[in-house]
Structure 1
Amino acid sequence: MVVGRSQQSLEVPNNATYIGSGKVAEVAQAVRHLKVETVIFDDSLSPGQLRNLEKAFGGEAAGVRVCDRTALILDIFSQRAGTREGKLQV
């Protein structure tokens, strides 16, 4: 279930978190308030950005997962893969 949505326009994405520090704080507050389990970004994020965002949103201790579009697509494919070979390919 989608509990919220946020958008930010930047000329150049932040190298550390992809979004600005104010937006990180805003989303982190919403994550805590709404007890969000997963935050999805509609773009590709680097492994460092994923790690930094997860840490900013509470991380594993809070049970918050951050994923980008690619990870979401792979998760959907892996859930729907029926055969052993299909699961292996995902």
Structure 2
Amino acid sequence: MVQVSKQTVRQWMLLEYRAKKHRFQDTVAMFERKYNTSLEEFEKHFETAEKEVFEEWDDYIDWKAAHEFLIRINAKISDINDGEIELVD
């Protein structure tokens, strides 16, 4: 039997979530550079646009998803840092 401490599991989880966080941050930053604006401003653009541009719509979906996943990942990292881990069988 292999024994693993809760601290080791915590470190593994943090490593995994930080890697995901980095990937989502890169995605958000890439869209911010591409459109030279924030997601919030880009959303306003869609509300007032007269014509839908497929590429922008497709980018918006990916950008919004990355933004929302980043929020979730940050919450999970915070929970792990606060010791909010429950090991189950």
Query: What TM-score do the two structures reach when normalised by structure 2?
Result: 0.23
Structure whose CA Rg is larger: 2
Greater RCO, CA 8 A, separation 6+: 2
Query: What TM-score do the two structures reach when normalised by structure 1?
Result: 0.22
Relative to total residues, which structure has the larger helix share, 1 or 2?
2
Relative to total residues, which structure has the larger strand share, 1 or 2?
1
